[in-house]
Amino acid sequence: MRILTIKQAAEMLSISVSTLRALVRAGEIAFVPRGVGAVRQHMGFDIADIEDYIKHSKTRMVPHVKLTGPAPGSFLANRAARLAAKAARKAAR
């Protein structure tokens, strides 16, 4: 297990050190306490924790689509109407 410094971890995430500290305060990323800092606690980061954060932070930009049925006048709506008319003609025979 290799421990990264706060600067190395921030570079790996492409964020600033202050942003990384904010993520730690929010509980998003775990850290390993190192030494005894008088003003700020020295933090070390396990590479596995950083990679886990990256994996869980991935998002995809997908439009939110309601799947209620085909839009009126669309190909699928017209096809559904043709199939319904065909089924009605078949039932009338």
* Mean pLDDT for back-to-back runs of 10 residues, the chain (93 residues): 91 95 92 78 90 86 68 83 92 87
Residue 77's pLDDT is 84
Name the pTM for this structure: 0.58
One-letter identity of residue 83: L
Residue 23's pLDDT is 93
Residue 46's pLDDT is 94
Strand partners, 82: none
Q: Give the angle 51-54-60 at the CA atoms, nearest 5°.
A: 145
Residue 73's pLDDT is 79
One-letter identity of residue 26: A
